[in-house]
Amino acid sequence: LADGPLKGKHVVVTSGPTHEPIDPVRYIANRSSGAQGTAIAEALAALGAAVTFVTGPADAARPRGVHVIEVETARQMLEAVEGALPADAAIFAAAVADWRVTQAADKKIKKDASGVMPMLDFAENPDILARVSQMKEGRPALVVGFAAETNDVVDNATAKRTRKGCDWIVANDVSPETGIMGGSENAIVLISSEGAEDWPRMGKVEVARKLAARIAEALA
Ligand code: C5P
């Protein structure tokens, strides 16, 4: 472990998409690459933190110098996060699927010869960020969520912070014209009890370093 202001601190980071199975060969997912979560895990480790990195099936290379736990579904992610606690801080950068298919088929769903379409029933996934934020016992001292918004970024993210009960929301504007989704840059507004702080547009690695430095200050 590196020497630094986070030495002796344990931080849990979630990252990547989750996959929710439909049947053994099909799933529901989203476009998260895992790039921002990976960069955050590496930046925290560089400051000396012991990092548990819980990731869904992400394209991004796994971060180095951290403990990686690979999961597939939202429910597995929740279980891995709960198993990784206690932690001094928890950073929820994963793009968790809001819904899962209630009963994934155990055999591949076949096309119906008479053209009848399959019907999928959905159930809501657990909100991992909200659960950890609202823990009565053993809550990490600092809980950070993300909010990808396309409009009214500050208002939506501020409401999200209150609703989930986390300490900070790292909000970003992912409207198509920003080119942020799938890109290497990010434009962040950090929402805390103090209000909203605009960060200049910068690379995702720079965002990660700045956020890790702020986390180190907050835990000092
Ligand atoms: O509600 P929304 O999905 O916009 O909130 C995003 C934040 O909540 C992110 O930090 C994400 O990692 C977290 N989240 C979660 N579990 C869910 C849904 C979102 O941890 N089921």
pTM: 0.96
pLDDT of residue 175: 83
- Cis bond upstream, residue 140 (ω within 30): no
Residue 5 lies in a domain: no
**What is the edge-to-edge ordering of all strands in the sheet holding 195-198?**
67-70, 50-55, 10-15, 89-92, 142-149, 168-173, 188-192, 195-198
In sequence order, the β-bridge partners of residue 10 are: 50
By most ligand atoms within 8 Å of CB, the mutation choice from 40, 81, 92 for ligand 1 is 92
Is 30 among the residues known to form the active site?
yes
146 CB under 6 A from ligand 1?
A: yes
Report CA(113)–ligand 1 centroid distance (Å). Answer: 40
Alpha carbon 188 to its chain centroid, in Å, reads 15
Count of positions (residues) in the chain: 220
Report CA(126)–ligand 1 centroid distance (Å). Answer: 9
Question: CATH number for the domain including 133?
Answer: 3.40.50.10300
Burial of residue 51 (CB within 10 Å: 0-12, 13-18, 19+) is buried
Nearest to 147 by CA among 36, 59, 42, 19: 36
Q: How far is CA 86 from CA 7, 10, 65, 146, 164, in A?
A: 16, 8, 19, 21, 19
* Residue identifier of the C-alpha nearest atom 17 of ligand 1: 127
| pLDDT tens series, the chain, 220 aa | 889 999 999 999 999 999 999 999 999 999 889 999 999 999 999 999 999 999 999 999 999 999 999 999 999 999 999 999 999 999 999 999 999 999 999 999 999 999 999 999 999 999 999 999 999 999 999 999 999 998 999 999 999 999 999 999 999 988 888 877 777 888 999 999 999 999 999 999 999 999 999 999 999 9
Helix (H) or strand (E) holding 22: strand 20-23
Residue 3 lies in a domain: no
Q: Are the beta carbons of 108 and 24 closer than 8 angstroms?
A: yes
**What ipTM was estimated for this complex?**
0.98
Domain holding 34, by residue range, is 10-106+118-219
| Angle ∠(11,14,18) on CA atoms, nearest 5 | 165
pLDDT of residue 154: 95
In sequence order, the β-bridge partners of residue 145 are: 92, 169
Residue 4 lies in a domain: no
pLDDT of residue 31: 87
Q: What is the dihedral of CA 21, 26, 30, 31, to 10 degrees?
A: 140
Residue 112 lies in a domain: no
Q: 206: which DSSP letter?
A: H
Residue 111 lies in a domain: no
Q: Are the beta carbons of 101 and 121 closer than 8 angstroms?
A: yes
Nearest to 61 by CA among 78, 39, 91: 39
Specify the number of domains making up the chain.
1
Q: Which residues are annotated as a binding site?
A: 98, 108, 126-129, 146, 160, 164
* Residue identifier of the C-alpha nearest atom 2 of ligand 1: 147
pLDDT of residue 1: 81
- Alpha-carbon gap, residue 113 to 121, rounded angstroms: 22
- Alpha-carbon gap, residue 205 to 210, rounded angstroms: 9
Residue 2 lies in a domain: no
